[in-house]
Chains A and B, each alone.
Chain A
Amino acid sequence: MTNMQDRVRRSGSPYRRQVVAYALAGLTTASLMSTTVYAQSVDLSQWSPEYIKSIAGTATYDTAKDCGAVVPNDYAGKVSYWYTGPFEADPQIAHDQDKAFWEAFKAAYPNIQADVQSITYNELLDKFRTALLGNAAPMVVRLQILGGVEFAAKGYLNPLKPEDVGYTSADFWPGALKSVTWDGETYGIPTNNETMGFIWNAKIFADAGLDPESPPATWDDVVTYSKTIHDKLGIAGYGLVAKQNAGNTPFRFMPQLWAYGGGALDETSAEPAYETVELNNDGSKAALQAAYDMYVRDQSVPTSALTNTQAENQAPFIAGQLAMMIAHPAEYAKMLDLASKATGADKATADAVVENMRYGLLPEGPARRAVVFGGSNIHVVKPEYVDGGAIDEQAVKALICMWTSPEWSTKLAWVGSNPGHLGGFKTEWMKERLDTIKFLDVTTSMLPNGIPFPVQPYAPEIMNIIVPDMLQNALTGTMTVDEAANDAAAKVEELMSGM
């Protein structure tokens, strides 16, 4: 990052100011050159629900003091920040943690003025794009994992890596860091990361003659289970989602595609180059065929799948009309909320569904078990695109250090995600989450299976437009499975040609 403007204005002789400036610069340089504030001690090779529980609550942190070593706590300045904070529909604890963060930031850095805007998930990208065109962007922005690379590729972001704010890259998931790396440079720091789990209704399984305590082991099993449930009970088996231009669709279909050995590009390989299109390989076609079999051949999934997002699956699930779906860790809390609002006979049904909810790992395929590696990253905008034409580097660093710390990356991801900083898994707050949020350990244990979407500026178009189009073309019979896969691959090829 480049410090473009020092906003500190204090009285005193030039000599005194110079001394203070050199001292601050020295402290900052020392903090950046020194070893990390936190040494990583999370063993990713042991990752499992048991391991996650065993490390929770084993470490304590003093965030204000630790970040004070990066940016002195008496630093005076200003930072502007856009992010998606808690909104009305979010549980109270999300609001409380958000409020607590800003109070903690104010306490740690009383002289830094924070100009903060919370913008809804669906609006943030468009608003940020518009602000960049008008050179009116904030200094710092937190974006969904798929969003950052577009702006890095276009030259809107300053390089930013964990070492800039006192951490090491080893403190974060490798997949998460990959999602902020463009052309060999790191352009952000992960704030939170999550993977989804597989939810099923144990009672429906039992009624259909399936083992109520075991989820389908493979994606082929999902197809079979879905048909069995539909044929025996007349309800939808699997909650397929295939709406166009909706993020829910790739988050639910890509795990299946990857499991069968497919891919959009080569994102499943250890060192993806993102140069080969795999949407029409045998694995991708097998996954598309499985979706086709459920929707067209067996009619065992909701007919409304073509216009459904995940939100539309919640109502039939809580009503006991849908047996299985891929969902966030927060889905359990959502179901509890829906059950609490139900009345009369619906209330009894909803309570029974909550009682019978089970979480498991996503099914495996012939190639692997896979899930989308989701989350958000925090970025710093280049000064020329910022409102006012400058950024206050020290204030920016202070905010990012606090936000991505083990403490706050855990607390701010309380309900729906996990800490971006791996040290967060060792905190007492992670232990509290595991104790109070049912099934969190299961979804969290999927993290090592997480595959990030291709880190390319055109990834949003592939995932949100081309992949759902491919599904719709096949499921509506507009094209055969082969034609739909080949058509999608051709569109990606055209996209990659740059024009």
Chain B
Amino acid sequence: MSGVSGSAIFTDRPVEPARRSSLLSRMWKQRADYLYVLPAIVVMLIVIAYPVYYTIELSFFKTPASLQLRDKVFVGLDNYTTILTSASFWKVTWQTLIWTFFSTLFAFFLGLGAALSLHREFIGRGVLRAILLIPWVVSTVAASYVWKWLYHSDFGAIGAFMVQIGVTDQPINFVDNTSTALASLIVVNVWKEFSFAMIMLMAGLQTVPEQLLRAAKVDGANAWQRFWHVTFPHLAGVSTVTVLLLTVQNFNSFIIPFIMTGGGPAGSSDIWITQIYQLAFGRQRWGAAAAYSVLLFIIMMTLGYFYVRALTRGDDKRAGA
């Protein structure tokens, strides 16, 4: 803002209207800059904007199995109404929220614990850091298959170990049980993601001023007080970004549930993305799948907005200064 109203209060001179040039004229003035980014914009329009537009358009149509896609039937908001009023949608949404919330929560706090542990100097720190990074660098597909066999309800290594040490009489039914399937998948997801949180938070820990910690120690602050009053406030920014990125990633998760359970048994580990995949490629309900995708897109854009805000908050302050 130009501060026009402030001027009116402190001066007798007549207020001049703000001389703001139009968007087009400003773009024209900066046409050279736009020319530089034009190729990138064109590519983005083709590979991002058009698919988004087409998905939104498709969400207003039904695609019966006996018709070609070009013969789709316009149904207005029918797909949205059908989805939002179906019991399965709310069940899957609830499961998606559970999946996203607990995956993000545990991955973040495990990552925070690992980052704090590795922030201190000790022998073998480099080796341990490398080991803890393994889950993040392993292919998700490969990891899912390995975990699938580890969890196997008849011959899984975890179940066999539990029986061997006498915890249970029979192998635990992790993924063939509607009560435990989603929780079992969350464990795998947390294992896969916590390294990412660890890396982000380790980078954040580098920004905590050492002299502040020493001063707090001299002042008699114990370890918890030093963490809570000195370290944690410095991690707030990176923590926000990490949590947002994990949330987006978990909302969009597909590989682990798809490979390990396919959303089963009886839909107990279905989340939005597996449901969309099933609708589109299993049942060829392209319109309904598109409507689902649009709803997910809205959520993702909302999260994206907060992510960008979190990233650019410092920029705004600097710009204001």
Contacts and interface: CB of A to CB of B under 8 A. Distances in A.
A457 interface: yes
A499 B62 contact: yes
Given A478-B178, A498-B64, A243 B262 contact: yes
Interface stretch (B45-53, B194-202, B281-289, B308-316): B281-289
A464 B282 contact: yes
Size band of the interface chain B makes with A: 20 to 34
B264 A306 contact: yes
A150 B69 CA distance: 12
Interface in B29-54: none
Given A154-B66, A461-B284, A472 B265 contact: yes
B280 to A, nearest CB: 10
B57 interface: no
A464 B141 CA distance: 23
Which of B65, B73, B173, B262 is packed against the most chain A CB atoms within 10 Å?
Answer: B65
Contacts of A477: 178
Interface string A136-154: 0000000000000010011
B299 interface: no
Which of B64, B154, B177, B278 is packed against the most chain A CB atoms within 10 Å?
Answer: B154
Interface string B148-172: 1000111100000000000000010
B62 A465 contact: no
Given A307-B176, A316-B154, A498-B64, A245 B282 contact: yes
B263 interface: yes
Contact of A154 (B68, B153, B177): B68
B67 interface: yes
A243 B152 CA distance: 14
Interface stretch (A16-24, A297-305, A401-409, A447-455): A297-305
Contact of A307 (B68, B264, B267, B284): B264
Size band of the interface chain A makes with B: 35 or more
Contacts of B177: 476
A171 B113 CA distance: 71
A389 interface: no
Contacts of A321: 154-155
A416 to B, nearest CB: 24
B261 interface: yes
B57 to A, nearest CB: 15
Nearest to B178: A476
B175 interface: yes
A306 B265 contact: yes
B240 to A, nearest CB: 37
B268 interface: yes
Nearest to B159: A303
B284 to A, nearest CB: 7
Given A154-B66, A244-B264, A306-B264, A465 B282 contact: yes
A366 interface: no
A473 interface: yes
A153 B178 CA distance: 38
B282 A302 contact: no
B228 to A, nearest CB: 44
A378 B230 CA distance: 71
B266 interface: yes
Contacts of A476: 177-178, 265-266, 268
A33 interface: no
Nearest to A243: B262
Nearest to A491: B283
A478 B178 CA distance: 8
Contact of B282 (A133, A303, A304, A461): A461
Contact of A303 (B73, B173, B260, B263): B173
Contacts of A458: 65-66
Contacts of A472: 264-267
A236 B154 contact: yes
A296 to B, nearest CB: 12
Contacts of B148: 307
A155 interface: yes
A315 interface: yes
A153 B64 CA distance: 11
A275 interface: no
Given A244-B263, A304-B154, A307-B261, A457 B65 contact: yes
A307 B278 contact: no
A498 B66 CA distance: 8
Interface string A488-499: 000000010011
Given A478-B268, A499-B73, 9 more contacts: A133-B69, A150-B65, A154-B66, A243-B262, A244-B264, A304-B155, A306-B265, A307-B265, A475-B265
Interface of A: 126, 133, 150, 153-156, 236, 243-246, 302-307, 315-316, 321, 457-458, 461, 464-465, 469, 472-473, 475-478, 495, 498-499
Interface of B: 62, 64-69, 73, 148, 152-155, 171, 173, 175-178, 260-268, 278, 281-284
